[in-house]
A = this chain, B = another copy of it.
Amino acid sequence: MTVPQLTGVHPAWLPPEAFLAIGSRQVLVLGEGALVDTVREEVAAAQARHGGGRVGCVLALAGAEGLPEVARAVAAEAGSTGAEGYALARRDGVTVVVADAPAGLLYGLFHLVRLGEAAFAAGERPVERHAPAAARRMLDHWDNIAVHPVMGQVERGYAGGSLFWRDGELREDLTRVRAYARLLAAAGINAVAINNVNVHATEARLLTDRLGEVAAVAAELRPYGIRAHVSVSFASPVVLGGLPTADPLDEEVRRWWAAAAGRVYAAVPDFGGFVVKADSEGQPGPFAYGRSHADGAGVLAAALAPYGGVVHWRAFVYDHRQDWRDRSTDRARAACDHFAPLDGRFAQNVILQVKHGPMDFQPREPVSPVIAAMPATKLAVELQVTQEYTGQQRHVCYLAPMWSELLAFRPWGDGGRTVADVAAGGGGLVAVSNAGGDPYWTGHPLAQANLYAFGRLAWDPRLDPAAILDEWADLTFPGTAAGLRGTLHAIMDGSWRTYERYTAPLGVGFMVRPGHHYGPDVDGYEYTPWGTYHFADRDGVGVDRTRATGTGFTGQYPRPWADVYESLERCPDELLLFFHRVPYGHVLRGGSTVIQHIYDTHFAGVEEVSAMRAHWDKLDGSGLVDPAYHARVAELLAEQQRSAEEWRDQVNTYFFRKSGVPDAHGRRIH
């Protein structure tokens, strides 16, 4: 293993200068194991650059031979750190990281990198224990091998091509995959599903003749403690195996999956498992055979169990051929209706992967009721780092505040567990990656912060989004972060709420252009089979999802939320139109009418984007950011402003044409 070096690619949050503090110390690395070797390599590389030699530091496995006294004492005080945890202390002028296991040591190293000089500050540092909230912190790549005629190389990818494949072939040089793994490990990620959940013909073959590609990618991920997972087609026994059926209860099908898993583990001994999107948006699944999703997941789980692998089974199942005229069907209900009755019937190594909201990654949704409805099932909560519905990495939209809010949500009310608790006790967090072959990794350079923040929140959901932003900025802009912080906070802290303001109002969602989902089209999905409607007419807008008069979706929540959402008076403003249909004159808890709120937020959202641009423009020539970086962000902010104005004008005009209510402030509505 050598520490990957790239040219022509932005270093994101691991520029060489981020290793200045540790690289300028004498460091003792103790212990055995591949990941300990990675730590050794990282330290050596940093020292080679920065000189090493100053007062020292120990990074050691607690059980390593020759452990110095200071480290032994820290280890004893820390007790067990678990499979990935570590303890950190400073005493007697030595900074000590100890861990029970190699992975913990690697995460401890990156903790030191984050701390920088602070890790070596004069004085003692009491023992701190760090361990991840959940055992699995995962990114899903929606990468295709063969370029899809509509969706391209990466479905919903806004950062260039795939890091793994190009034009139907594995990339020859995988150095960048290793550099990606390093970035992810520094953020706390330990699992990556390498291909799209929509598994097309070529990608299905990753289980068979293209298995070598999985092994090659896994080999690049492994030195940074990341296991490879693969999305598979439920129809594989038919498509790949030539069987007449993929019925999960068929004995031949079971044997086929068992053999397939055996082959995969022979090639990739630390393989993570399968990801499955079944009976969803046209993907095959167990419904075709009259079997339940527990049965469907079960056959895969049984195949993986001997090797310790897991099945990530997605709960994103709904009728995507709905009739818009049928108001009794409610897509929001679908996941809970399908899966809650199966609680307790999934195998132990199945993780039910639930999108955070009941619809599909909108900028504002309530928390999915599935999260509270399946206490006897391992759940993972799925987020979307790729900005499909939040500006597609052309808009600045720092998502950590949204994620933080939903992770802290308590489905059973005050005193109950949080969403983060459910995830931590189950399958942890999963997110769709926003990274690709783009020189800045993520299209918009500032979108790197979303990838970093996802990893950090998966490790510790209680972290403060603003503090994560500081961490990210300190690492990304070594030397100038102090001067940049104010600007970055001004631009990014509120950017999700800004995006929310200038797009679809009050939680109603989906006013996007069909297909690509960029930019506004208020009626774009209104008369389609996709189940995403707002029902705006001349009198009002919103979806009645109450038990009393609507689809009954509110009844999928436990109390108190079932009652809060049911109540027109108590429902939070930002979700009002998700749960209720109201007249334009309805007065929000915030005091404004719905129609005036729409106008006000859309005007305000654009003004906030203008302010973001002004902040960024002030950096021009400041020397605080690289000119090319500055120019790219400036160009994207200009597009964000154009797009925000388009959103403002379309949404305001649409609702003015419908409602006939003029803006109270007489601003221009076209």
Contacts and interface: CB of A to CB of B under 8 A. Distances in A.
Interface stretch (A259-267, A488-496, A520-528, A630-638): A520-528
A626 interface: no
Nearest to A537: B657
Contact of A649 (B325, B649, B660): B325
Contact of A527 (B537, B538, B653, B660): B653
A402 B657 CA distance: 34
A567 interface: no
B325 A537 contact: no
A539 interface: yes
Interface in A507-541: 520-524, 527, 536-539
Contacts of A524: 523-524
A536 B654 CA distance: 10
A650 interface: yes
A521 B528 CA distance: 9
Interface string A644-666: 00000110011011111000000
Contact of A522 (B523, B536, B537, B656): B523
A658 B658 contact: yes
Copies held by the complex: 2
Interface residues of A, number: 23
A621 B135 CA distance: 69
A537 B659 CA distance: 8
Interface in A530-556: 536-539
A523 B657 CA distance: 12
Contacts of A654: 523, 527
Contact of A658 (B149, B521, B527, B538): B538
A667 interface: no
A618 interface: no
A659 B522 CA distance: 18
A537 B658 contact: yes
A660 B523 CA distance: 18
A645 to B, nearest CB: 10
A538 B659 contact: yes
Contact of A650 (B522, B527, B538, B650): B527
Given A536-B657, A537-B658, A538-B538, 9 more contacts: A149-B149, A324-B670, A521-B527, A524-B524, A527-B653, A537-B656, A538-B657, A538-B658, A538-B660
30 contacts: A149-B149, A324-B670, A325-B649, A325-B653, A325-B670, A520-B527, A521-B523, A521-B527, A522-B523, A522-B527, A523-B523, A523-B524, A523-B654, A524-B524, A527-B650, A527-B653, A527-B654, A536-B657, A537-B656, A537-B657, A537-B658, A537-B660, A538-B538, A538-B657, A538-B658, A538-B659, A538-B660, A539-B660, A657-B658, A658-B658
